[in-house]
A and B are shown apart, each in its own frame.
Chain A
C-alpha cells in the first residue's frame, strides 16, 4: 500500500509540474499587457515600461519561467496584478468561504441523494422512482448559473425567503463582526455563541448551497439507485429476507453498505467537480470565495492568479482522488490497491 501511495504521489508531482508549465506558457501566449493590468488602463508608456521592468516582464520567457518555478518551491506563488495581494494568501483567505459552500452542498447531496436513491431502488417503476429519476436528470443537466438565477429570482426576489447574495448581512459584518477562528461563518458564530448571526449566516448559505447541491444530489441519487438495484438482486439479500430480517435493516445496513462504494467514488468526483462548479455559484451569489477570485482574475487577465488557482485546483483534485481510492479500499475489501 505504501508503494502504491508513493507511486501515486510521484505521478501527481509529474502532473502538477506539467500543469504548471502549460499554464505558464499559455499565460505568455495569450495577448495581454500584464503591466497595464498592474498599473491601470490609463497609464502612459513610460509608467508601463517602469512596471514591466519592476515585474521582471522584460526578461526572456525561459528566465521568467525559472524564476517562477523557484519562487513556487519557496511558497511564493506571485502576486495578483489586479489587487496586488499574494496569490497563495489570497487563495487561503478565500478558501473557508468556498469550503463552507462546498461542504454544505455535499452534505445536502448526501443527505438527500442517498435516501432518494435507496427509495427509488426499493420502489422501482413506481411513481416515486420516476420522480427521482427525472429529478436527477434535471439536477445534473441544468446549467448551474441558470438554476442560480432562477432560485435567486424566485426564492429571494419573489418570495423574499432568503437574502439573494453575500455571506452575511453587511450591518452585522461591519458593526458586529464574528470573531475569526476557522473562517467558516457557521462554526465561528456557533463558537462565539452568536445564534442570531449563525441564523443570518445560514440564511445566506441556503441559496448558493442548494444551487451547488443540484448536480451532486442528482448524481448521488442515480448512482445509489443503480448500485442498490444490483445489490438488492444478490442472493444474500434474498437469504436475509427469507430469514425474516426487517426490510429497513436489509436496505440501510446490508444493501447500502455494499452499494456505497460506487457512490463514494461519485461523491469524491463531485467534490472535485464542485471546486470549479462553485465559480458560477459564487459569481451569481456574490460569494467571496475562490470562484469569485478566479472569475475576476479571468476577466482581468490576471495570470498569476489564474495560474495559482489552476495549480491549487489540480492539487485539490489529485488529493481528493487519492483519498477516495484509499477510502474505497477500506470500505470494500474486493478493491485492491495496485
Chain B
C-alpha cells in the first residue's frame, strides 16, 4: 500500500517534471526554428511526390555475391552471353538473338541490380 502511494507520488512528480523538460527543450530549440520550418516543408514535398508515384519502399540493391549467383542461373541457357556484376551493376557483353533478349532481361531485372548495362551485340 505504501509502495503504491509512493509510486503514485513519483508519477505525480514525474509528469510536471517531464512537461517542464519538454517545454525547456522546445524553447532551447527555438533558435533553429527557421531550419525546422524548411525541413517540414521539404518533408511535405517529399510525401506529395511519394503519393503521386505510389513510392513507399526503398530501392533494394542485391549484393554482388547474390547477383553473381543469380546471373549464373539466368544466363545458363544463353550461350554467347557474358554477364558480370560489379558494385550492383550488371554488365552484359557478347551476343544474343533479338528474340531472346527480352526473356534474358526479364530474368536479370528480377535480381535487384542497381543498373543493367546492355552492351550485347544483337543478332
**Interaction A to B:** no
| Residues of chain A at the chain B interface (Cβ within 8 Å) | none
| Residues of chain B at the chain A interface (Cβ within 8 Å) | none
